[in-house]
Amino acid sequence: MRERLQALKEEALAKVDQADTLNELQDIKVAYLGKKGPITEVLRGMGKLSKEERPVIGELANKVRETIAGELDAKKEKLEARELEEKLEKETIDVTLPGRPVTLGGPHLLTSIVEEIEDLFIGMGFEVREGPEVETDYYNFEALNLPKGHPARDMQDSFYITEELLMRTHTSPVQARTMGKYQGSKPVKMICPGKVYRRDTDDATHSHQFTQVEGLYVDRNVRMSDLKGVLNRFAKQMFGEEREIRLRPSFFPFTEPSVEMDISCKVCHGEGCSVCKGTGWIEILGGGMVHPRVLEMAGYDSKEYTGFAFGMGPERIAMLKYGVDDIRHFYTNDIRFLKQYHKA
């Protein structure tokens, strides 16, 4: 048995040395150390030995088993290390190779302008409100002192869905809805940005879809001077502290008195140029004191409450602030144009 065990050891160690893969190594382990292996068979045959030989052969068999197992483990470590090295070599990343540039997007210029307007008015205590773009005729017109048949409706030629539903022509319905919700129980101080729709022919200064930001402040003792102060702060923060404003009389069915606001031309500083058409002023928005009838329809006592409202177009503000010469640039998705204003 000694010779048999010695021969098995030498045979197993030779095969371990020649093994070139982990699978071959596993096969050798099963063949020599498994339950059906030759060493196990030797141990099972020890019953035929004398009492003196059993412990000697048993000890030798265990040493052979341990020697083979040790060599298997050592060879396994070498093969695993070699496989890892080969894998790393195949998957090597050249960290000195310049990376591929990642193109980053940015906010649309109109989004930036609207957010800038929102931040400005939030800083003055206004809250931002939104409403549906598909609006009822009542909130779009009648609640704003524009009853059916009113000639001023012609100024807002509309996209009607049914006789009573249309795409809103301004964001003023959000104001009417908000006042109607409160029914005179509390003051209102809000702006409402959003998309609006009118049946305009698209050209350099008109679009069938555009954005508006309208504002409303209703409380006790609200005066025209309050409106002028708010708009003056807006103009200076949006266009520069050197900007001056002027208010001209105008007409809107939902305000009385009504005004148009101009800002001094930033190109000629009021001297007159082609941008301001020689006047030194550029029209920027409209506003006025909320018409008493609008207040009454929303549940406010017009003898106790007064208010002002205003509305502006972010497209026009962007065109004036950044020198954009065609409103259609905002909607044609030309990356060359849009990329210019990612950091606006």
Q: Map tokens 């093994």 to a residue.
A: 19
- Among the listed residues 281, 239, 279, 231, the one whose alpha carbon sits nearest the alpha carbon of residue 259: 231
Cα of 98 vs its chain's centroid, Å = 29
Secondary structure class of 36 (helix, strand, coil): coil
pLDDT at residue 114, rounded to an integer: 96
Give domain limits for the chain.
Answer: 2-90, 109-341
What local confidence, expressed as pLDDT, does residue 86 receive? 85
> Closest Cα to residue 295, out of 254, 252, 249?
254
59 among the known binding-site residues? no
Q: Which CATH superfamily is domain 109-341 in?
A: Bira Bifunctional Protein; Domain 2 (3.30.930.10)
Q: CA distances (Å), 244 to each of 86, 117, 153, 235, 263, in order?
A: 74, 18, 32, 8, 6
pLDDT (tens digit, 0 to 9) for every residue of the chain, 344 residues total? Answer: 677 777 877 888 888 888 888 888 888 888 877 777 777 777 666 666 667 776 777 777 778 788 888 888 888 888 888 888 888 888 877 778 787 888 888 889 999 999 999 999 999 999 999 999 999 999 999 999 988 887 766 656 788 899 899 999 999 999 999 999 999 999 999 999 999 999 888 888 889 999 999 999 999 999 999 999 999 999 999 999 999 999 999 999 999 999 999 999 887 877 888 778 888 999 999 999 999 999 999 999 999 999 999 999 999 999 988 889 899 999 998 988 888 887 76
Count the helix, strand and coil residues of the chain and give each as a percent rounded to the nearest 5: 45, 20, 35
- Calpha distance 328→130 (Å, rounded): 25
pLDDT at 43: 66
Could you tell me the end-to-end alpha-carbon distance of the chain, in angstroms, rounded to an integer? 91
